[in-house]
A and B are shown apart, each in its own frame.
Chain A
Amino acid sequence: MNDIPDHFTDESLFAFLDGQLSASEEKAFERHLAACRSCSAELERMQALFSDLESLSELPLQVDLADRVLARLPRPAPAPRFLRAASALQLLAAAVILVLAIPLLLLQPGFVEWSAGVQNEFESLGARLEPLSAFVSTTILAAEDLIMESVQGFGQPDALAAVAATLIPLLASSSLLWIIGNGILIPRLRRDFSRR
């Protein structure tokens, strides 16, 4: 398309309108355009057609397609019973393990020293916090007594500490599994079921 003929072909005319000519071709085209009234008129005619296409009004749609489309879309179905039961059981298991593990956590070696340290910290806060400090100290001591009394029937503190060491990772992994199970797997399974 290096040589623009005396009068434009449709190919060069439309290539010009579509911005498909090279810079040199475009210059040659424009030079011819300035000298040729016929081609200039033809270009204007096509530009008007393009403009009419661009502003062409839309024909009215006489129905509402939304309801028809929505009726054909898969709806999310309620989760199957076993999924709902699994979710509830996971929650229950996590709660039970939490209840069992917290007292055992308190029996971990070093906890008594740690609680004494906390007690000392509170005591050092001074007279302004004395009522609060006394309350915390009393509460911690009472909790220790209560725990020691309640676990005496189950065995020696060392053995319980070993059990606690096992339960703590169990608690962590159960909680993690619960989060994964409810947060990721169940919604995905629910979507899969709804597509069936």
Chain B
Amino acid sequence: MDAPDDRDLVRRVRRGEVDAFGDLVRRYQQSVFNVALRVLRNREDAEDLAQDAFIRAYERLDRYDIDRPFGPWVHRLTANLAINSLKRRRTLFELDEERDRTSPAGHSAPEQALVRKERDRDLHAALTSLPAHYRAAIELRHFQEMSYQQIAAALGVPLNTARSHLYRGRRLLAERMERP
């Protein structure tokens, strides 16, 4: 028998079958965790936030448009939650950029060993070393495919500032990828 698709699972959850939500979690936990990890950089924080994101998704399931794909919806929700978490920690716009530039990458050696490609590993390391607001802008644009306006709204900054974060983040990322 074919596995139920996301719409079926969402319908079942809405009818009160809470366990069906477990199937949705298993289906998206890896990608949701990675969204959180790219923004927060810390594995434990990302796991906690991924759980919170699924709880939030469950609470908002009545407002979810079942005709749209579930994955992008829960990923955006996670990205917004992760960015709000950074804001609450007052790190998003108050980071010492110099300190951040020299901060070590967030992955432990065993974790890095699991990354298949060397370039992927370097990119993960370069991404996690970016200042939080640049990292957030890149996450929203490249992974959540948001428009400039949506990024500005998610970050709570003017449009020009959001654009500037994105451009500078990309430039910094490219420079770091070129380091030997």
Contact = CB atoms under 8 A, between A and B. Distances in A.
Contact of B47 (A45, A52, A58, A65): A65
A99 interface: no
B77 interface: no
A73 B119 CA distance: 39
B25 A56 contact: no
A70 B16 contact: no
A122 interface: no
B58 interface: yes
A50 B34 CA distance: 18
A3 interface: no
A70 B174 contact: no
B34 A59 contact: yes
Interface string B100-124: 0000000100010011110110011
Interface residues of B, number: 43
A61 B22 contact: no
A66 B30 contact: no
Contact of B25 (A14, A70, A74): A70
State the main secondary structure of chain B at its contact with A.
Answer: helix
Given A14-B167, A57-B115, A66 B26 contact: yes
A72 B51 contact: yes
A127 to B, nearest CB: 56
A contact residues, range: 20 to 34
Given A52-B123, A53-B138, A59 B115 contact: yes
Contacts of B30: 58, 60-61
B166 interface: yes
B25 A66 contact: yes
Nearest to B47: A63
B37 interface: yes
A37 interface: no
Nearest to A190: B16
A75 B18 contact: yes
Contacts of B33: 59, 61, 65
Contacts of B173: 49
A73 B58 contact: yes
B29 A59 contact: no
Contacts of A61: 29-30, 33-34, 47, 50
A67 B124 contact: no
B19 interface: yes
Contact of B18 (A11, A57, A70): A70
Nearest to A74: B18
Nearest 4 pairs of A and B residues by beta carbon: A66-B25, A66-B22, A58-B34, A61-B33
Given A59-B34, A66-B22, 16 more contacts: A11-B167, A18-B148, A49-B170, A49-B177, A52-B120, A53-B142, A58-B30, A59-B107, A59-B115, A61-B50, A65-B29, A65-B51, A66-B23, A67-B22, A69-B25, A76-B18
Interface of B: 16, 18-19, 21-23, 25-26, 29-31, 33-34, 37, 47, 50-51, 54-55, 58, 107, 111, 114-117, 119-120, 123-124, 138, 141-143, 148, 166-168, 170-171, 173-174, 177
Interface of A: 10-11, 14, 18, 20, 45-46, 49-50, 52-54, 56-61, 63-70, 72-76, 191
